[in-house]
Amino acid sequence: MAFAPINKNYHDFFVVRDKDACINCQVCVRQCSYGVHFWDEARQCVRHDNTKCIGCHRCEALCPTQALLIQEKPSNFKANALWRPVFIKNIYKQADTGGVLLSGMGSPADIPVYWDNLLLDASQVTNPSIDPLREPMELRTFLGSKPTRLEFEETPEGPRVKTKLKPNIALNFPIMFSAMSFGSINFNLHIAMARAASELGTYYNTGEGGLHQSLYKYGKNTIVQVASGRFGVHRDYLNAGAAIEIKIGQGAKPGIGGHLPGEKINAKVSETRMVPIGSDAISPAPHHDIYSIEDLHQLIYALKEASEYKVPVSVKIAAVHNVAAIASGVVRAGADIVAIDGMRGGTGAAPAMIRDNVGIPIELALASVDQRLRDEGIRNNASIVAAGGTRCSADVVKAIALGADAVYIGTAALLAVGCTLCARCYTGKCPWGIATNDPYLAKRQNPDIAAKKMANLMKAWAHEIEEMLGGMGLNSIESLRGNRDKLRAVGLNQIELDTLGVKAAGR
Amino acid sequence: MKKIYPNKEVCIGCHLCEVACVTAHSKTKDHILAHNVEKAQEGLAPRRNVAQEGAVCVALSCRHCQEPMCVAACISGALTKNTETGRCEYNEEQCVGCWSCLMACPFGSIRRHPFKEKIVKCDMCAGRDTPACVEACPNAGLVFEDRGSD
């Protein structure tokens, strides 16, 4: 191709434009933030440059005459089981740029999805199933430390609980919106998550970018996060939410920090993060004050002191090889909630090599953590929240049966507002107005519509969870928690079955 | 009465309202024929126009004023205020193309027909339950609602 580097032609997508249907309205031109579509003055019609297409499907979705089709470029390299096209193209890219390969969202790598190998039970004949439309069904979930035993005392008004209970947060559904910082996603979606969580009676997590003053009113349904960069952390912030979360790691990029590029730091982000406008916001890989479980203990208690022991403190860790031992340490350090983020969890930006090769799937991590805490007799000291790759309500049910108290959804919430997983969040040019702070693009997320969609998704899942519970003859989510007898596995080896603590189907 | 209200906070400048407007006022009511055939032959033009400067955009059109200046200025009686529906109605037959209304409209919402000595103005999609532009807006940047008198 003349005037262009050779590798430009190894692009991933191409645009098919039905010329009979195209009305040259230029909606595609205005919607594409990557400059694929353009008005050709010489030919007086809309044309496109395939090399720029990243496959977000925004143009296809908004084309009024369905004239557009975005396809994967069918051109193939010679088949090679080792050198798959993704590796070949990556090498071309890196040979051109000398840079680290960046990516966004969760890993698309072909790693077993254990949810798909797990099947749920249902009642037949010997135990009755329950119809959730006619009988009460309890999805209410409490997160936080539970006492080992309860003591009661007699009072003139009747028996009273004598044991001092630790602070818990109450969720109407065992699902929360995962930590996505203001900055990585824009303000419109933060308002939307806050409103949806408030309407539903569940929680959203601020992520590591602080909480804008105008969102303090949703504090009752907010979990405020403290990460290694300590962005936006101050006394009022710590007391603004219903729980505090210390972020140690993220499933998409265990062991490394974060980098919000300066271009995404506008006035509002700057004010919230407490960093100058336009400066890069870099979260260090470790917390520089945490080099041991004892140090973590100090931070947990520093935060509990700062919030006067009124709110539970959560610690979020990435699912890595020794996750069970680490979680045990975290609980012993005083965490009231342990959030485990599996390797398929999303991100606004991560080196592709880390995202696709570091960590372990959440299903295995969750099962081993739950088992370890039970074996050690400390499971009641903390709730477990599973994150990273929850795609549907059945995944939620399976996670709870494997031992989770609740799940975090991040990617699913973004999909609800239009995300198509093009995985270019790190460019800040998200055509769906999600992972961008460009005011022209961010407007594409109308907070009213986004809040409604997020709430709808959660309600739909809650209905489905009720149906699945009822089918199993359970009328409360509590009865499913850690109840692995409600799960059977297909196509797994004995070690996987043992780790998951699940019997093979038929057994 | 219900009116169309634009919201610049969520208008994304896609111009789908204009596309829908043209189709709704075409003979065929077909996107492709309206834009690829009728536009050139009949001079079909959108009654709504998206104004944009930088990141700010908003879809503007006739506000169907309580006391419309265009009606007051009209010399031929082509523009009338329907007090029942609240619409500022336009009768093309009567229009003589004097452009008085264009000068009078403080919002610049009336335009010249591309080649006839007539004007082009929003009729709030008479005959439709919801105006086409409102229905086509993907982001609720246009809403059709009753906000009392304004």
A3 — pLDDT class (breaks 50, 70, 90): confident
CATH code assigned at B67 = 3.30.70.20
Is A143 in a helix, a strand, or coil?
A: strand
What is the per-residue pLDDT for A274? Answer: 92
Average pLDDT (B82-92) is 92
pLDDT attached to residue A1: 56
pLDDT at A468: 97
Between A261 and A117, the higher pLDDT residue:
A117
Residues ≥6 apart with Cβ < 8 Å to A112? A361
**Of residues B9, B19, B141, nearest to A25 (C-beta):** B19
pLDDT value at position A377? 97
- Facing B15 at nearest CB: one of A30, A65, A449: A30
Please determine, for residue A87, whether its predicted confidence score (pLDDT) is greater than 90. yes
Nearest CA in chain A to B18: A25
Domain ranges in chain A are 6-99, 141-145+154-504
Domain A6-99 has CATH 3.40.50.1820: no
Tell me the residue range of the domain where B75 lies.
Answer: 62-121
Averaged pLDDT for residues A390-401: 98
Question: Contact A30/B18, CB-based, under 8 Å?
Answer: no
Q: How many domains does chain B have?
A: 2
Q: From the list A64, A433, A440, which residue is nearest B31 (CB)?
A: A64
Give the pLDDT confidence of A157-193 residue by residue, as tens digits. 999 999 999 999 999 999 999 999 998 999 999 999 9
Q: Are residues B117 and B140 located together in one domain of the fold? A: no
Q: Chain B contacts of A60, Cβ < 8 Å?
A: none
Chain A residue with minimum CA distance to B13: A30
Q: A397 to chain B, minimum CA–CA distance in Å?
A: 33
Tens digits of residue pLDDT in A406-461: 999 999 999 999 999 999 999 999 999 999 999 999 999 999 999 999 999 999 99
Residue B129 shares a structural domain with residue B142: yes
Residues B19 and B53 in one domain: yes
Per the listing, tokens 């308002």 go with A191
Residue A332's pLDDT is what?
A: 97
Look at residue B149 in the predicted model and tell me its pLDDT: 65
Percent of chain A whose pLDDT exceeds 70:
100
> Is the pLDDT reported for residue B127 higher than 90?
no
- Model pLDDT, residue B78: 96
Mean pLDDT of chain A: 95
Is residue A403 pLDDT above 60, yes or no?
A: yes
**B66 and B11 in a common domain:** no
pLDDT at B150 over 60: no
* Residue of chain B whose alpha carbon sits nearest to that of A438: B55
Residues 6+ away with beta carbon under 8 Å from B105: B62, B69, B70
Contact call for B31 and A30, based on CB within 8 A: no
* Sign of the dihedral defined by the CA atoms of residues A283, A289, A291, A292, in that order: negative
Q: How far is A39 from chain B (nearest CA, A)?
A: 14
Q: What is the predicted ipTM?
A: 0.93
Q: How many whole angstroms separate alpha carbon A319 and alpha carbon A373?
A: 15
Contacts of A191 in chain B (CB under 8 A): none
Q: Indicate if B55 and B129 belong to the same structural domain.
A: yes
Pair type for strands A222-226 and A204-205: parallel
B2-57 pLDDT per residue, tens: 999 999 999 999 999 999 999 999 999 999 999 999 999 999 999 999 999 999 99
**Which pLDDT score is estimated for A5?**
82
B133 and B109 within one domain: no
- What Rg do the C-alpha atoms of chain B give, in angstroms? 15
Whole-angstrom Cα distance, residue B87 to residue B85?
5
Residues of chain B found within 8 Å of residue A438, distances taken between Cβ atoms = 55
pLDDT tens, position by position, A308-321: 999 999 999 999 99
Same domain membership, residue B100 and residue B75: yes
**pLDDT surpassing 60 at residue A256:** yes
Q: Are residues B114 and B146 in the same domain?
A: no
> Both B54 and B81 in a single domain?
no
Residue B58 banded pLDDT, cuts 50, 70, 90? very high
pLDDT tens for A135-147 read 999 999 999 999 9
pLDDT of residue A4: 80
Choose which CATH entry (3.10.129.10, 3.30.470.10, 3.30.870.10, 3.20.20.70) describes domain A141-145+154-504: 3.20.20.70
Nearest CB to A64; choose among B9, B10, B19: B19
- Chain A residues near residue B134 by CB distance under 8 angstroms: none
Quick: pLDDT tens for A192-223: 999 999 999 999 999 999 999 999 999 999 99
